[in-house]
Structure 1
Amino acid sequence: MEENNIMDFENIDYIQLAAQLIVAVTLLNVWLLRFNKSTQWRGGNASSMKEEFKAYGLPNFMMYLVGGLKVLFGLGLIVGIAYPVTINISAIGIVVLMLGAIGMHIKVKDAPKKSFPAFTMLVISLLILVLNN
């Protein structure tokens, strides 16, 4: 890596790059494209993000806060391809948010499979942290 914190494209770790893109694209898909769509992963019996946060007993502003942070951290992983300084803070933020998501699924007694996406994003984000340091 160069001294000015810009990615040295000759020494790219393709596993880390793939991990960053998988997490970023997944988060952006969920929060920007599938926000009002029903999925098998939604908490409780929710069919949209608003219903899911309601099922968790969380106020509306938390949905926007969590969503904004997930989009921000997802974009941080993409920006991190060129400016690696954003990678660790983004990955740490995602780890914290995924732990919270898993906790919410447990709170509403969801089947363990509903936590699978959050658990997967948690593990991949931890991998990003390991590979980036």
Structure 2
Amino acid sequence: MDLIDYIIIALKVIVGISILNVWLIQPKKPSKWRGGDAKTIVEEFEVYGLSKTFCYIIGFLKVSLALILLASIAFVNLTLIGSLGLAVLLLGSIIMHLKVKDELYKSFPAFLFIVMNLVIALHYLKVFS
């Protein structure tokens, strides 16, 4: 394996573990990154005008895609599903922050993870096309 392959694995681990942390370990803890003045993920979705049910659906999708991204370390064919799926959902996060006129810094984690996911996807397409 080349250095870039190890970097891609590191990006997959960083993104996957970070998403799992936010949704499974920290969902009820305050964070400076949450939309509006929300203290929890459910409150954040309320700030965006979205239902608790929608929050759980997005949470299920993000956790599932993070697990798929982590699994893609061993099963490379899962890479695009995990990376592009998360990139789309994270774009939705940025749109919601803009919708409620949050300070720009609150969108930074989503933007950073979109970039990481696109690097992962582009590397996959370069190597496996």
Normalising by structure 2, we get a TM-score of 0.93
In terms of fraction of residues, the more helix-rich structure is 2
**1:33: how far off?**
0.5
AA partner of residue 99 (structure 2) = K
Gaps in structure 1 of 5+ consecutive residues: 1-9
Point out the structure with max Rg over C-alpha.
Answer: 1
**1:11: how far off?**
6.3
Q: Which residue of 2 aligns with 1:86?
A: 78
Q: Map 1:108-127 to 2 at 5 A.
A: 108-127=100-119
Q: Which residue of 2 aligns with 1:100?
A: 92
The reply on whether 1:66 has 2:54 as its aligned counterpart is no
The reply on whether 1:76 has 2:68 as its aligned counterpart is yes
**1:86: how far off?**
1.0
RMSD: 1.1
Q: Which residue of 1 aligns with 2:42?
A: 50
CA offsets 1:1-48 (integer angstroms, 9 cap, x no match): xxxxxxxxx568101101100100100000000000000000010000
Could you tell me the percent identity over the aligned residues?
A: 44
Detail structure 1 runs of 4+ shifted over 2 Å in the superposition.
none
Normalising by structure 1, we get a TM-score of 0.90
Q: How many residues align?
A: 124
Q: Does the 8 Å contact 1:16/1:132 carry over to 2?
A: no
